[in-house]
Amino acid sequence: MEFMSDISNCYNKRFIWVASLCIAFILNLPQFSAAYTLADRLGFQRSIVDYRSRLNSNYKKVKRKQTKYIIVHTSELGRKMTLRVVSKGKRLRNGRKTNGGHTHYVIARNGRTYRIVDKKYEADHAGLSMWNGETNISKISIGIELVGYHYAPITESQYRSVGILIDILQRAYGLGDRAVLTHSQVAYGKPNRWFRKNQRGRKRCARNFIREKAEVGPTWAYDPDVRSGRLLADLQLSKIYYGRREYYAKTDDANIITKINTAWSIAGEDYDSQTTVYKFPGGHIYTGDQISAKIGWGRIPAKTVVLLNQENSISLIKSDDPIKTISDQLTAWSFAGQAYNFKSTIYFLPSGRIKVGSMISDWDDLPAKTRLIVGYRGPYELYKDRSAYEIAGRKYKDRKTIYYLPPKKLLAGDKINDFNGLPKGTLIFLPNT
């Protein structure tokens, strides 16, 4: 009887939940996700890292008069740089710096969530934006930054955290699922070489955000500002948000130039910025502010890789040294691009551990000074009766043949003077081409 009573209670709860959704639909009330429990929400709130004390002292706190939207972003940076930029500010093209306060929350790739600005205050996160005729979306919205890139997958841990956070905010402000938008949906650009009128597509931010994975319902069926004629449509974003579902949030080759994937499609307003890097197939590297004079925007070759937010790191990206080093500004994506998680991308952690890309789950938070090589096979271990020449052939002294000398030394073949004196356990990595 007790068992039957439990089943009856389950059915009663299910009936009440379904009935509440029906009533909400009829009365046009906000519908809250049933995926997250009160325990989920309380546990999540207790886990938030309070980062408000790191805010730029020049940030001016202004109470938001109305909250109509929740805007999801991808930071286009690694965790450390994301936290630094949203808290302290960013450098503009004219050399000036902002005063920080560029989001309310940051969610790292491991799901850890940081509170940057109290949710009751305005945060300057949406910039030039419009939705349903309303401009300056920052003044009427809450911003959430997901650490990562619009052309890379969002992690399952991030989806869980952002899903719970959105659920909490929806309940706090009485918002439905259509109030949850991405930055790429609301940002718009002024006329440029690609468009003669104001148009959607200034940002690609969070176009890879899959709502279902965060337990968020469908978005709008159309772009209200395009339908009204206020803005021109962006074909890529229209397909992602309002087109066929199977196209939704695809990320393959999304940061690579093709016939239909232009510099504007990838970088938006930052297409000609000195912090945007273009890596040509032949190995040449240019910054966005060099393309017009040296190459011409119509002559960028297909398969060029575009990297965003590479401030103060251009010389390191340009280096032809096969051994790359991760820092606060240079992530695995800066060097490996789409190959960040390939078996042929090999990481040498400061601890001495060696991992291939397919073993890295949180590649954006790899510790600074992690080194990597891209496009390699191995390791091949040296033995008494197995020399470097027997493993690498005539290229054993080549600069692209990499030696790992225990415990933590990494050298190219042309940097080794005595191959007979290599320590026991030395490993060799050979380029794939």
Same-domain pairing of 287 and 322: no
Same-domain pairing of 292 and 334: no
Same-domain pairing of 182 and 149: yes
Q: How far is CA 387 from CA 180, 341, 391, in A?
A: 61, 30, 7
Is 244 part of a structural domain of the chain?
no
Threshold 0.75, pTM exceeds: yes
Which helix (H) or strand (E) segment holds residue 372: the answer is: strand 371-374
Q: Report the pLDDT value the prediction gives residue 127, as an integer from 0 to 100.
A: 93
| C-alpha–C-alpha distance, residues 310 and 140, integer Å | 31
Residue 414: count of CB within 10 angstroms of its CB: 11
CATH number for the domain that contains residue 124: 3.40.80.10
Same-domain pairing of 330 and 197: no
The domain boundary, picked from 284, 311, 338, lies at 311
Is 190 part of a structural domain of the chain?
yes
Residue pair 142/175 in contact (Cβ under 8 Å)? The answer is no
Give the chain's residues under pLDDT 70. 1-34, 93-94, 244-253, 311-318, 328-329, 361-365
Same-domain pairing of 196 and 319: no
The domain boundary, picked from 239, 268, 300, lies at 239
Residue pair 193/297 in contact (Cβ under 8 Å)? The answer is yes
Same-domain pairing of 219 and 328: no
Number of domains the chain contains: 3
Same-domain pairing of 97 and 211: yes
Is 223 part of a structural domain of the chain?
yes
**Checking DSSP bridges between strand 141-146 and strand 105-107, what pairing results, if any?**
parallel
Is 234 part of a structural domain of the chain?
yes
| C-alpha–C-alpha distance, residues 328 and 334, integer Å | 11
Is 6 part of a structural domain of the chain?
no
Q: Report the pLDDT value the prediction gives residue 336, as an integer from 0 to 100.
A: 82
The domain boundary, picked from 208, 239, 270, lies at 239
Looking at the DSSP assignment, which residues form a beta bridge with residue 49? 114
Place of tokens 């910039």: 127
Same-domain pairing of 122 and 268: no
Looking at the DSSP assignment, which residues form a beta bridge with residue 402? 412, 429
Q: Report the pLDDT value the prediction gives residue 159, as an integer from 0 to 100.
A: 97
Q: Report the pLDDT value the prediction gives residue 363, as an integer from 0 to 100.
A: 66
Same-domain pairing of 284 and 154: no
Is 120 part of a structural domain of the chain?
yes
Same-domain pairing of 343 and 270: no
Is 226 part of a structural domain of the chain?
yes
Residue pair 268/201 in contact (Cβ under 8 Å)? The answer is yes
Same-domain pairing of 181 and 131: yes
Q: Report the pLDDT value the prediction gives residue 433, as an integer from 0 to 100.
A: 81
| C-alpha–C-alpha distance, residues 201 and 236, integer Å | 9
Give the distance, in angstroms, between the CA of residue 138 and the centroid of all CA atoms in the same chain.
20
Same-domain pairing of 77 and 137: yes
- Taking only the tens place, the pLDDT of each residue in 248-268 is 445 445 788 988 888 988 888
Q: Which domain holds residue 271?
A: 255-311
Is 15 part of a structural domain of the chain?
no
